[in-house]
Structure formats: C-alpha cells, structure tokens
Structure 1
C-alpha cells in the first residue's frame, strides 16, 4: 500500500501566555454578545435569513465556564502539535487548542499560506473568553468564536478514502449538546488539504447549529469571492446590503481600505461555486472552497483606525504584520443559526490550497479569472467526488489515539447509550469534573463534597435538571438545581432552591452570590450589594489556602462584589473588599482599572488618573468593550492615550467607517 499522507507528533515553542484557571463562578448573567442586530434591520432581510437570525440565539454560556485566568506575560512554552504532510503541503495542527491549523505550508513555493501568529496570546474574543488569533479555527456552537478555542479535542489516526492516513478531531460541543468531527487528509500529490466536517444531532428534538471555518491571512491582500453584493455588519450593530467591491466610494475588498472593524458577508448566488481567496500583491495566496452545503463566505477586517490597530498589536506583537479573516459558514451570516432535525446530521467537504491569479482590474473579470484558475487547479467536480468518497469513511473507527479531549461526551454517551460511529467517547476519559454527575446518573443522588471548595460545573440540560429535581434535596444538589432552573428561565424557582439550601449549607458564599445575581437582574441593587458583601466575607472565612483555585474564586467574587457596591455608592464597603484581595490579584490589569474606579468613587480624581499614568493592561478586555474609555472620559477631557484605545465603533474616534 502506498502511504500518501503521513501524520506525526511534534511540538512548537512560542512566546506564550499561560491560560490560567477558569472562573469558578457559574455565568448566570445574560450573554453580552456584540453580534446582535438592530431590530429595524430585520424587516428588510430575506425571509429565510430573517427566520434564521431569530432562531434559537444563545442566551447563556451555561454549562460552560468563563476562561479569564490568563495574563499577558509571555514565556517560551512548548505546544504539542500534529503534523500532516505529503510531498506538496504541510499542515500543523494544535490538538490542545481547539484543533486549530496553525500553519499551512506549500513546499514547492516555500510559502506560508496562512497568517501564522508568532506568539500565543489569549484575549477575550471567544464566547467564554480566551481566544487567540492566527491559522484556521473551527467555530461551532453559537454566534461568535467557539468555547473550544483553547480546549483540547480528541484526535486519532483514521484510514483516509485513498488508503492513506487521515487525522480525525472530534468533541462534544456543550452549548448545543452536539458531537462533531473534523477529518483532515492530503491525497498523494495534492496541493489541497481536504477537510471533511460532520455535525450530528443524536437527540429527539431539533437543535440549532452554527458553523464557521475562520481563516486568518495577511491583511496586505485583496479578497476575492463570486459575489456582487454583501451584507455589511459593523460594531454599530447595523446589518445592511452593500455593493461589492466598492462601497461608499472605497474598494472594500482590500482590507486596509476600511477604517473600522467590520464584517462583509458575501451574497454568493445559488448555483455558483462556493469559494473565497486572499491574494497578495504578487497575485499569490490562499483559496478555500467547499461543497455547496457550506453556503456563506465572509471577510472580516480590523481597519486602519486606532482601535483596530491596537487590537492587532494586542493579539500578537508590534511589528509582526496585521491580518484579516476569510471565512466559510453554514448560513449567509454569522447572525444566523440553522435547524438540524432530530436524529439527523449535516456534513460537507472543504479544501484549502494555494492560488495564483491576477487580482487587479475590473471586479467581474478578476473574479472570473481567479475562478478559472481554481477550476484548473481543483475542479468543482473533484471536490464533490472527494466528499462522496469521504462520507462512508466518516464512521470508520479511529486507530491510534493522538490526543484526548474532555470527558463530557463520554458522560452523555453513558447517559443515553447512543452509539456514535467514528467518534467514540470512551468511558476512560471521564474525570473529576464528571464524577458527581456520573454518581447522580448511577444512584439518583448527587454527592456532597468531601472537602471545602468552590462547587464544580453545573449541567443544565433538561434531563440533568430532571434528575436533580428528583434527587435528595441536599445543599449542593439544591445549588446545582437552582443554576439549572435559572438557565431554563424559571428564576423564581431558582431563587427558592438557593434559599432552601442556605438553611443547611456548610458553605454559604456560592448561594449568596447566586442570589445576589438574581437581585441584580430583578433591579434590587441594594440587596444585591448586601448579599455580595456577605458572600465575600463568608468566602474569606472559608478560604483554606492561597492556591490557584481559591485565588481564582476570591478574585472573581471580589471583582463582582466591588462592582455591585460601587453601583450603589458604597465606596467604603468596596474598599474593604479590595483590601482582602491577594496582592498579586490587585496588581492585575483588570483590578488596576477597578482601583481607578474605586479611587474616583472615593473622590480622589488625581490618584485615579495616576493609575492610568502608571500604566496597566486589562488582559481579559472584552471585544467591543468601552469601559476603559468611559472611565477615562470621567477623569479628564484629554484625548484617550493610544495604549488604551480599543474603540471599534464608527464615531467613537470622530471618524466615519
């Protein structure tokens, strides 16, 4: 047998920031999602698009935890990789970081086809926080970057359709409770990496599905796609149809021609081949194409404004070159979710490889020329045939295991007894996080903790909620039941569950914090502040050591308590909380910003300004957040210093889009 593709383990060393611990507090507040549209724009959308925009938008991150424990201190670190290569291409995959393809190197020309980030620097762009830029990422779940951005996936060798080796990545996506797989292989002599993707719904009810393959490329390029129109979406949250390539007298297919960050979702006509390409000044670059199920194509640009350039620096290092993103998804736009019927699946094939074409000239001529070059390099019929050849292999059982993901899929398989050919979730992958839920499944009783510590993750799907409701009503069971009820929208019952648990719970602070959030959402701000103060005091009395877990929960609860107390004007109580935080926590950028707010609330404007002058970096600053600029404007009329300028909306800096 001729081995047409080889797969090997390897590692890369990068300046990398540590991910740190997850936030131990359950994310009870509604999702602060920047990708929602103004209601006035919905009336003008095509009917199918309007339906999908309104279909099952994500309201909560539960059961996933927020990842905000990372910083901005980078040290050389080894990152495990899996390398797939033939005689033409070499793809480097990061199985421990969402299965990201970090590099796609074309050997004959010696060209890197992707934007390859020279550092690993998490930032708050994923739905649950930590995300990093560069390469090709697989976004499943809901509008935004996947919660698996910085999580390990299962990976193994599988026999490819042509008899060679194929790399399979798979996991259980927890926001929608759906298993998925990504199969990568390189046929002999191929200039194109093939990627087969399948998402399954093993449940008895339909599920909303979201998928976008996100490709980072150097921004000194022109982006080509077979479209005359696009849907423009910016951080002013307006969605409108615009012409391609010229919009507002500017050719937007050159990423650096835009001032502000924006999305352009290309309207590829039905029946037209689905593809998108990014070509450099020399006419060489990357093309992505697929079977027709992967309908959407998109360009994201950071723009040339101060905020966009600052974000580019924030995600890498100054002087390393900027990037833009070309993407492919199941719907026209990333504001939509597609219905997947019960017991069904959706699958497609993507191909990534080099393309050389003339990028200058009249739009229609340029697009037709590039499309002809693509047809010569990889005919559309060949992509369809590759998909048909791959699909029977999607159920092939994996061979050698190369990486292990989470145990959540194994827990679901244990609960349902479902067989998922091709993506085994072995019982051996169950770990400490799944242990109490496995016990609930086995005995009908949720175990009480053996030692003091933050409660573990809460499963919120209806079947788990039903089990909690019938389990013995112990304090920890009531805590988890309340979180599941809250997620289901039954807030009054959630509050009753948490209040019942308070009567017998040895640890009060987790329940008081949940009740404080409930008070905030109901508009009872004073009572929320009282409960936060009581919760933080209880935590400080219970805290056993200065280890990572206790430090993380103290920081998370302390931050929320200070914010709640400042909202109701209780600066003295907020200062008391501040004084009990770990010194290392107070030195973090997020808490330096909090300190400036606290000083301003205490009336010491000069000291608050001095915090800015001394400098700080809020490592987990949220995409689209304006908190730094808003506080600065309360302190002074001076222009916002460039180091703090992360503004992304047109008009924020006085310039149009």
Structure 2
C-alpha cells in the first residue's frame, strides 16, 4: 500500500534571506512577450488568449531577492510518497516541488535532480530553483510560489490508500488551487489530480504549466509535426518538427541558444511528452485532454546557456532541459475561468522504454504503443473520474502549513472551499493589520521603527481602505492599491496627503519617485529618491529588514541619480550604504556603473576583476554584458556571459 512519510534532505543550500520590502510598482519585467510583427500570423484563438489580461504587475506579491550564492549544508523538509514501484520526494516548503521520482525496479531516477538548493531570479517575483517537477500557476512565467510553503495533508486516495494533498492561495489572480498526489498499489505512475477554483462573481484569467526537468542528453518526443518556436529575441513563429534550420531540434543539444518549442498537438491525439536516453529509457508525462499544451525548453550549447546551467547548480553535475504541459498551446496565453467555476484534470508521470532513434513518425508510433501498454489512455480518464469525487474530501493529518493569505480571504468572504481548508490558525504577522482592518475598520499604526508591511490591492480591500480613517499608513497602502488599479493620479494624491503627517516619509517619497520615473520626470524622481534615502538613514534600525530596505532603496536611488546625471549625489548615497550592503553582488555591479559615470574606467574594470557575482541576475538580463562593452573592447569573459539570444551583447 502507498505510504507517506517525512524526511529531511541535507544538501548545500543558499538561504532565501529577506524579501525586498519595497512594493513592486514598476511594470512586470517578463521575457515572454512577442514582437507585434508576429501577431497577424497567429491562430485567432491563440492571439485572443495572448491578449487576454496578461499580468502587468507583481502586486500584491513581494520581490524575493535576499538570497546569495553561499551554500553551507542545509536541511530541507520533505514528504515522501511511496508504493512498491515508485518513490516521489516532495518539498512542501518550496512550492510543492517533486524533487525526485525514483523507479525502484530499475533503480533509475526519472527526473533531473539538483544536488544543491540555489535560488536564482527566474520566478515572476525572483527566487526560483531548478530541477524536479514544478507546478506553475498565476501568469506567464515561473510561479511566485516557487520558493514558498504550501499547505499539505493526508487524504484518502481513490483506491483506499493515502494521497498527499498540496494547496494554497495564488495571490496574483486570487485563486485557490490544489494538487493531489498518489501512487496506486502496483502502479509505475505517479498521479497528480489538479484543481483550480474561481470563487469570485466575475471571470478570472488563469494559467498552468507543469515543468519537468530531465537530463538534457535525451530525445524529446511529443505527438506533433509542428511547434511554435519562441526565443529570447521575442519572436513567436511556427516551425517544423523534428527538423528545423538543418538540425533535429528534438535533441536538446542540437540547439545553440535557449529556446521554447511549443508543440502543436492535434486535437484528437493523446496528450503526452517523453524524454528518452540513447538506450530508450526515460520519463513520460501524460494527462487528460484538458491539459492541452506540450513544450520543450532547451538552454542550448552556446556560452550563455552553458553558464546558466552552471549558475543554477554545481559545475560538472550535468545539464538539463525541461519537458512541460499546460492548459493552452503556449505560455504566453491565459485562460478565462468563469465566475464561480473550476478547472480540473489528471496528470501521470512514470517510466517509458521505447526506441528514440529513427524516422519521426515511426518513433512516435512506437512510443505511443508502449505508453498505451503501460498506461492506457482510457486508464488515465478512468483515474480522473475516480479521483474527482475525492477532490472535496477534507484533509486529515496536517503535514505542512502554507501562508495565511487564504485564511484572510475566507474570513473576508465566508467562502466554503471543500477539500482545501484555510484555517484561521494559519494567519501570521503579515495578515494581522489586514485582519484588523476587516474587523475594526481601520489599519493599526505600525511601530516607530517598523518598515511598512505587505500591501493588499484587490478591489474589496481597496474599498475598505477608501472608507477607513485617512491615516498615513492607510493612505500609503491605498495609494499602492490605486496604482495597481491604474489610477495613478489618485495614487500620487494619496501618497502626497500622507506625507504631511507621516512619521517616516521615505516609503511615500519612494513611491512618488517611482511615479515620477514612470511619468518621465527623471529630475524630480532623483530629488525624491535623494530625500527618501536621507530620511531612511535617520530612522533605520540594524536588523535584517532594515538592511533589505537600505539595499533596495539605495540601489534605486543611485540608479535614479545616475540617470539624471547627478553623479556626485549618487556617490553620496553609495558611501552611506555601509560595507555589508555595498559588498552584495548586485550593488557591486551598480558600483561599476557609478565608477564609469565618474570617468574612473580602470577602477570600474577592477570591480569586474574582483569576481563579484550578481546572485539575483534576471533571466534574459544583459546588464553585465552592456556595461562590460562600455568598459573595454575585449570579448565578454565566459564567467560573465549569460546571453540567451544571438544578439544579446
């Protein structure tokens, strides 16, 4: 029978650190956007779904950029679900990631397993790590829950054994979701029943992609003759499968640059994707038809892709690619989830043995026959039908606790969500001010030496802020909510009103400075950043939260002052950051730019010679290469080459 037990993984692990306390007011920096030239050639339904409410802002989520690249031995809590054939290791505190899927009869690991925990800036809100099976909900990109805890508990499975339920409240779209994992007795396949619910009285855009990391020395099979190719030059175009530009792109190592291949799976075909090694052994993922899309992501063999592979793990540990499954054909699209409705499907993951080499259609036919023998298509549909009545079963033994945001929403609305309880006991410090607003009608004043807490921006919370007493803390949060809603003029008025009586002006001045930058008023933005940083220096404490504030605001202030040509003022801010903050990799990059602006080229070059590492370097970011090109004519050193497109220099 299936068992579920606790386990602790010990591995080199970087600490996540403190989240960035400044609300992310700027437009979302997302690489997955397409050139307008390609829109006219897209199928009508794809174009409509690409244009359907793409995410514009990370609010109310915070940016997670407090990690570094120091990896002492660390302990990570895991839940292991196991039958006589498979052992799945799940990390509930890290987005419910399936870190390992071990096939016991053959002794094979079916996934790419990362030997370290190293956050990198790939999630929508920053911290993400590579390896395993990840569950991406919310909007185009890696979920904001990549490195966040989920609720977990035991639930009876359809066959009478045990099922592991994971659930949380996704805050970008305000949607609860669940993932039920179970291993039927004697099965070679891990089942995942997934449900997303929309409890609102209005439609909501939603998104889902299951990303599976596998070793890159594979051939990837999917039942398609065409794919939509997307590269970091932001072009989306239809290409043939498997041969494209003179190479068989179903072998990940045949691509030079990082790229997505979204397979055009015909409507009548079974949904599946597999990655097989040279001996024909590997992993297959299949699902009910609701999960329509299939994709291959490759890093490529170019220097940038190789550098990213090393960056995300340890040099010499082998590379990976990703096979993926989603609700629509591409990750640029969002699905309309109707009011008071839900969306559910079933996925299965297990071993597949088939001949990977040869003529494409012959290979596909052989693999599909093997898959049908191992797990019939009708069997997947039957497993889904058997699971669906159990989706509402209330969980029993609690195994892990997620955030309190779901509990806050349930208290506000009175929603009944069978199967995914968001208990009041899960409310934490972040939710307490909002619970006070909900029950007492006003926000409590923060402590004298407290940075502002999390902000809520959904319409019901904005309405409560508008009717609450107009204290500085209320006006601050109201302005953020108004900004998120697109009412920028009113947001600025709220922040300006609060400045008159606020005990600390820096949070409001920083918001107004961002508003000035977005409005093209760079000199005024520089003035406000300088004033905000001066005010912060008079009030800041010495704990981790204040260090995070100093680093975030100091960096923004230096960059704003440099943009306005005020190099001396930028230097003044830099000198007041303190040695520990200045030593951070991102700030070392800022320092090199400051030195260059001061005309101190050799000193700027020396910063690169020191070998700094920008821990939160963004996927697709080219700031290092651009700055290097301004400093010297020599080629970009390999250790600094993170370029993900042909002209990314």
TM over 0.5: yes
Q: Among 587, 590, 597, which residue is 1:601 paired with?
A: 597
Q: Among 3, 6, 10, which residue is 1:9 paired with?
A: 6
Runs of 4+ deviating beyond 2 Å:
none
Deviations 1:314-350 (A, max 9, x none): 0001100000000000000000000000000000000
Tell me if structure 1 keeps the 8 A contact 2:622–2:648: no
For these two proteins, the number of residue pairs brought into alignment is 649
Deviations 1:25-74 (A, max 9, x none): 00000001110001111111111111101001000000000000000000
Does the alignment pair 1:38 with 2:35? yes
Tell me if structure 1 keeps the 8 A contact 2:550–2:577: yes
How big is the shift at 1:281?
A: 1.0
Tell me if structure 2 keeps the 8 A contact 1:397–1:421: yes
How big is the shift at 1:651?
A: 2.9
Q: Among 55, 66, 71, which residue is 1:58 paired with?
A: 55
How big is the shift at 1:451?
A: 3.0
Deviations 1:542-573 (A, max 9, x none): 112x2101100000000000000011111111
Does the alignment pair 1:557 with 2:556? no
Q: Among 119, 124, 128, which residue is 1:127 paired with?
A: 124
Does the alignment pair 1:280 with 2:277? yes
Give the alignment's Cα RMSD to 1 decimal.
0.6
1:92 maps to what in 2? 89
Deviations 1:615-634 (A, max 9, x none): 11000000000000000010
Q: Among 626, 631, 637, which residue is 1:635 paired with?
A: 631
How big is the shift at 1:271?
A: 1.1
Structure 1 stretches of 5 or more lacking a match?
Answer: none
2:462 maps to what in 1? 465
Does the alignment pair 1:19 with 2:13? no
Deviations 1:253-291 (A, max 9, x none): 000000000000000000100000000111100000000
Which runs of structure 2 are paired with 1:638-657 in the superposition (5 Å)? 638-652=634-648
Which runs of structure 2 are paired with 1:562-601 in the superposition (5 Å)? 562-601=558-597
Deviations 1:476-504 (A, max 9, x none): 00000000000000000000000000000
1:179 maps to what in 2? 176
Q: Among 116, 122, 138, which residue is 1:141 paired with?
A: 138
TM-score, normalised to structure 2, is: 1.00
Tell me if structure 2 keeps the 8 A contact 1:288–1:353: yes
Deviations 1:56-96 (A, max 9, x none): 10000000000000000001000000000000000000000
Tell me if structure 1 keeps the 8 A contact 2:223–2:269: yes
Which runs of structure 2 are paired with 1:144-155 in the superposition (5 Å)? 144-155=141-152
Q: Among 48, 70, 77, which residue is 2:45 paired with?
A: 48
Tell me if structure 2 keeps the 8 A contact 1:183–1:197: yes
1:345 maps to what in 2? 342
The 2-side partners of 1:649 and 1:333 are apart by: 19
The 2-side partners of 1:45 and 1:78 are apart by: 47
TM-score, normalised to structure 1, is: 0.98
Does the alignment pair 1:390 with 2:387? yes
Partner SS for 2:13: strand
1:219 maps to what in 2? 216
Partner SS for 2:402: coil
Deviations 1:518-557 (A, max 9, x none): 000000000000000000000000112x210110000000
1:477 maps to what in 2? 474
Tell me if structure 2 keeps the 8 A contact 1:551–1:582: no
Partner SS for 2:489: helix
1:612 maps to what in 2? 608
Q: Among 245, 255, 265, which residue is 2:252 paired with?
A: 255
How big is the shift at 1:298?
A: 0.1
How big is the shift at 1:8?
A: 0.3
